[in-house]
Structure 1
């Protein structure tokens, strides 16, 4: 382009004067030069669903968005530290072809070549791979995911496998499979999965969606069924797991302050007399909250090593793909507002709302506290609950009654002492009144 611009300057300036023809030539050269830069750039398609996590979000917790062991898809393909898994990808491809000799490698490649264009459109940036490289990536990464899911779900099919013969590799691969930047389009996985013959004699695993949900049951509701998910709208594995967490039906956020939030921590709500209950009556949705009659019902949540990266990547996905239905983001804001200290976390753990698998209240508090940091935090999904809590806590009688119960009725002996004191006061009053009457 420098040479082109030099040409522009040479052509465009003769003795300080430009004629119309020379100026037109200069404009054309400049336009061609700019067009060369624009050619690799593609507009976002309606298929786009896999994004790079913005630096402002990634900076909060780099490890939560970066694969540790295996690259899936094109974004981390050139990461040398992940290249060691390529041999495992090749082994899993061979394993699948050995399971189903009817499947020909050439047929797989032809099938993937047919959906290459659509698959490329799923990524929010230009993928600098030629057609053969892109198809090979889909083949190896796709079959790696499928065979991993099958072996995880059906231990009898593992055989001698270095990934499952260790205590840590499968766990780390699960972590890598839930990262936003480490996704393959779900239709690519379905395409490969459905190449297996219909009569899968001896197979002990369900379809791709059911099996994926079962493998990640520690992160999503175990009782989720295919009937509760609109499969046609699922775009990749992370999106499938999000579908297991959000309300079954689309919930329109009420027209309220989008930044509305609960002003009180768990400890303050407890001091105001609010009781906590694990589980919401009649609901299996993780995000459901219910506040009725001074009781705040919250669905149980297990906090383990994968929980923070799981929620962070769901939130990152919503920032791009679901800005008007950012349910998980609202949930993270809700928890962030409730938990300010380890004591807050401890109260939720005490009431079985949080299952602590990290071993320390402080770690639980830290893990939850800043989930929504550096993201557009929309708390409107819980705005009605915020309003109810706010109204309840502003009523002084609730605080007085709570203080009275905790001061005088916290134990049987305290109750006996209170009754005795009250009885003594009553006797004193009666004596005083009798004395006045006698006088």
Structure 2
């Protein structure tokens, strides 16, 4: 019975009767038996294993309730083609490291070591304000920091570890994603890092949110002078470090998920009625970065006039601080006519316009858009007038633009408005003469150190290696309108007339006198001829 059993096993593995040995006939060579097909070890025989592998290949992110969803990560590293270009330091922090894309060796070296120590102070201050009674907040009371609240915060960060790892686009086995390079962190190290970095950011946002509310007020108690000792500036000996911190918090690789801040806020900060006020985090972020918003001048946070209600941004919408900043400058709510024009446009157009001096020769007028501009991206073109909101360039403007462009290049389903704006300005500014023309129109003002060529090549450096098509931003259609207008003949002729004959008041006066004399001469000739053919009676 053994042979029968073997045949049954062979039939069950291959799904067919095993081949029988070939019979040899007289005069022919006996054929060797054909071996049964071997099973490929590369693929598992069970379909469920294949399904598991496919499901694990999808980048996953978790929502605030811990439910897993098949959505892409929200924090990315800088693409290699952008990071290896000019000014690599534009993507590196100058004062503080945030998130797991930096190892402990980097954090313990200058200039980041001071703020790494300060993060522990932020944890202590938040724990003190949360544990202290109403009469002790803001005082010098020092609790026993072997508190259940500290353990609770660490446990919460540990519980969020899968969501945190899924939020980063990093190498397999490093942060839980797949693709770019990352840094290996075990669960305890990652939880402690999130507690330190999250407490540091929470402390900064609470300092700025709700009209610079004090930490003790945010915690529900009375204020104190200790809360207004803003950030222990005497420890560092330089108040300007906080300006560097604000810029560092807008770097692409210097981010942590916003749900980490929300989790710490729920544990550590509650008002007197016990209700969470998470909107203070969005308000604090908008105020913290108000002076860094590209536009006509650097305004203090109190003059920013931007709030979460006006922007319609809620905590659940925010993925990280750079995402919050991007939403505050986004101009996706563009006019309906631009949306209709986008729907009518079928062919991809080249994202290009002539330089500013050539456009001026073609009759295009440049005008600073001040009253109706909602963002520096609010560029419009109507009737030969290209309106661009004023923009002032500083030495730290280039890192901001480069990280915003890198954010657009990596983030899925995001309109590339900042990239398109940089391409537009790069096309307009090719020579110092173009720069002077836009400066004269009030569109562009440079406060950058160095010669004029530094400002002239600003946008060329900012958008280097960036990839974009005309359909990814409404500015592509604005640029197409400019090119069509520039190609028409009548605007060019009219511009030449104005430039050659109407640019000087004396020339205008002479031209008017010549036209007047010409009209008088024509009239005199007419009446003379008329009198000859029809003399008076």
1:189 and 2:261 aligned: yes
Please identify, of 350-359 and 327-336, the stretch whose mean Cα deviation from structure 2 is larger.
350-359
Change (3 A) 1:99 1:186: same
Change (3 A) 1:276 1:27: closer
Q: Distance in 1 between matches of 2:428 and 2:272?
A: 50
Q: In the alignment, which residue of structure 2 is the partner of 1:215? A: 288
Q: Distance in 2 between matches of 1:335 and 1:64?
A: 20
Q: Distance in 1 between matches of 2:364 and 2:498?
A: 13
Q: In the alignment, which residue of structure 2 is the partner of 1:13? A: none
Q: In the alignment, which residue of structure 2 is the partner of 1:180? A: 252
**Contact 2:369 2:390 survives alignment (8 Å):** yes
Change (3 A) 1:240 1:377: same
Q: Distance in 2 between matches of 1:375 and 1:132?
A: 38
In the superposition, the TM-score normalised over structure 1's length comes to 0.80
Give how far 1:236 is off. 0.5
**Contact 1:315 1:328 survives alignment (8 Å):** yes
Q: 1:373 aligns with which of 449, 464, 481?
A: 464
**Contact 1:142 1:192 survives alignment (8 Å):** yes
Give how far 1:42 is off. 7.0
Q: 2:322 aligns with which of 227, 235, 238?
A: 238
Give how far 1:229 is off. 3.9
Which residues of structure 2 form unaligned runs of 5+? 1-34, 44-52, 61-70, 133-146, 176-183, 213-226, 296-303, 533-537
In the superposition, the TM-score normalised over structure 2's length comes to 0.67
Change (3 A) 1:195 1:164: farther
Change (3 A) 1:119 1:159: closer
Give how far 1:135 is off. 0.5
Q: In the alignment, which residue of structure 2 is the partner of 1:132? A: 188
Q: In the alignment, which residue of structure 2 is the partner of 1:58? A: 83
The correspondence of residues 160-175 of structure 1 with structure 2, limited to 5 A, is: 160-162=232-234, 166-175=238-247
1:410 and 2:499 aligned: no
Give how far 1:397 is off. 2.1
Any idea what SS the aligned residue of 1:308 has?
helix
Q: Distance in 1 between matches of 2:158 and 2:349?
A: 46
Change (3 A) 1:163 1:74: farther
Q: In the alignment, which residue of structure 1 is the partner of 2:142? A: none
Q: Distance in 2 between matches of 1:417 and 1:320?
A: 60
Change (3 A) 1:256 1:327: farther
Q: Distance in 2 between matches of 1:389 and 1:229?
A: 33
1:314 and 2:404 aligned: yes
Q: Distance in 2 between matches of 1:71 and 1:276?
A: 42
Q: 1:70 aligns with which of 90, 96, 104?
A: 96
Q: Distance in 2 between matches of 1:163 and 1:241?
A: 29
Give how far 1:177 is off. 0.8
Q: Distance in 2 between matches of 1:376 and 1:313?
A: 14
Give how far 1:72 is off. 0.4
Change (3 A) 1:257 1:70: farther
Q: In the alignment, which residue of structure 2 is the partner of 1:123? A: 168
The correspondence of residues 266-345 of structure 1 with structure 2, limited to 5 A, is: 266-279=356-369, 282-323=372-413, 325-345=415-435
Q: Which has the higher contact order (CA 8 A, sep 6+)?
A: 1
Give how far 1:219 is off. 3.0
**Contact 1:163 1:169 survives alignment (8 Å):** no
Please identify, of 427-436 and 154-163, the stretch whose mean Cα deviation from structure 2 is larger.
427-436
1:358 and 2:358 aligned: no
1:189-231 deviation digits (Å, cap 9, x = unpaired)? 1222333342269xxx970111111111123383443233443
Any idea what SS the aligned residue of 1:276 has?
strand
Q: In the alignment, which residue of structure 1 is the partner of 2:155? A: 110
Please identify, of 270-279 and 170-179, the stretch whose mean Cα deviation from structure 2 is larger.
270-279
Cα RMSD for the two superposed structures: 3.4
Q: In the alignment, which residue of structure 2 is the partner of 1:392? A: 485
1:14-71 deviation digits (Å, cap 9, x = unpaired)? xxxxxx9xx999989xxxxxxxxx9xx9752225111111221112230111112221
Q: Distance in 1 between matches of 2:235 and 2:75?
A: 26
Instruction: Specify which structure has the higher proportion of helix.
Output: 1
**Contact 2:206 2:280 survives alignment (8 Å):** no
Q: Distance in 1 between matches of 2:513 and 2:269?
A: 81
Q: Distance in 1 between matches of 2:428 and 2:40?
A: 65
Q: Distance in 1 between matches of 2:407 and 2:325?
A: 12
Give how far 1:249 is off. 4.1
Number of residue pairs matched? 405
Give how far 1:233 is off. 3.2
